Amino acid sequence: MISRRITTVLAAALCAATATAAPAGAEERAPSAFNLEDSRIKESSGLAASRLHPGVYWTHNDSGDGAHVYAVDSRTGRTVATLTLAGVDPRDVEAVSLGPDGNLYLGDIGDNSSGWSEVWIYRFPEPTQLKDATLPATRYTVRYEDGPRDAESLMVHPKTGRAYIVSKKRSGKGALYESPTVLSPSGVNTFKRVADINVWATDGAFSPDGTRLVVRGYFEARAYRWRDGRPAEIGRRPAVPLQRQGESVTFTLDGRTLMYGSEGARSRVVPVTLSGELLPETAAKGNRNLAKGNPDPRRAGAGAAS
């Protein structure tokens, strides 16, 4: 979390800033910008697209808000459900990700002083009904193999279910850390450093098919091909909108668009459409099929790339 005194710039829409959000179900085809209208959401620090409720995005505040996660309808910007995690007293929540098991993973991983010996991840099911609820959560204790790290980016791979964290450094020289194959709720889960990530990272996300990883900072983002469990940077970088304090990013359900979020009251979530090599493999394959006059495999039920 950057200082509140930072000189900020207002969000600049890369798409029609005054457009209304698309109806649920059409969100994949025409995502639009929207504001987080809930006055409780002042420090939105993570973003994840719901699979069960198209057009809905999960978000949360960082430190100071308690164990709350909000479901926001992109059609209106209004909160349609608030989840409270029973028995959880978070320290600095910075990220949320949706796993292939249908569970949401909340990363209590912020550590501005890089002095905490351990941080935590909380797992809880994405609800089938959107309503306020208090839920039990499984807590995982996390340590890094090379000592404490500040981090704001938690990503769960949509195929393997493995968790990854990107550390944050002002120099831009952070790193990607990999969880054990299976997280254990007992004992300590040691995350191992597996790759350099040279972004002052504030969030990251895997594409729905698992073939792309995007990591954003305040003013830049980088994209990676995901091959054999490791990132390979793509030369072309995704565009990033100018935002008051850019803290979050997620893919839309079809993988064709990045949704960028920011801190601040009534902060704006802004879509940026992907193209070329930035597109996940499933989305790119759909484009090629459409160009040939063939049905889009997403509509025909084709499986995603692994």
pLDDT at 45: 95
Walk across the sheet containing 34-35 and list its strands.
34-35, 268-273, 257-262, 246-251
Q: What's the pLDDT tens digit per position in 8-33? A: 333 333 333 333 333 333 344 568 99
Is the predicted pLDDT of residue 267 greater than 70, yes or no? yes
* Cβ atoms of residues 40 and 69 within 8 Å: no
Question: Which strand (E) or helix (H) includes residue 288?
Answer: helix 281-291
Determine the Cα–Cα distance for residues 222 and 284; give it in Å rounded to an integer: 18
Residue 53 has pLDDT above 50, yes or no: yes
Burial of 59 (0-12, 13-18, 19+ CB in 10 A): buried
Give the helix, strand, coil percentages of the chain, each rounded to 5.
Answer: 5, 40, 55
Res 155 pLDDT > 60 = yes
In the structure, what pLDDT confidence band is assigned to residue 83 with cuts at 50, 70 and 90? very high
How far, in Å, are 20, 24, 251, 300 from residue 207 at the CA level?
25, 20, 6, 19
* pTM for the model: 0.86
Contact 255, 280 (CB under 8 A): yes
- β-strands 212-216, 163-167 pairing: unpaired
Q: What is the pLDDT of residues 106-139, one digit of tens each?
A: 999 998 887 899 999 999 999 999 999 999 999 9
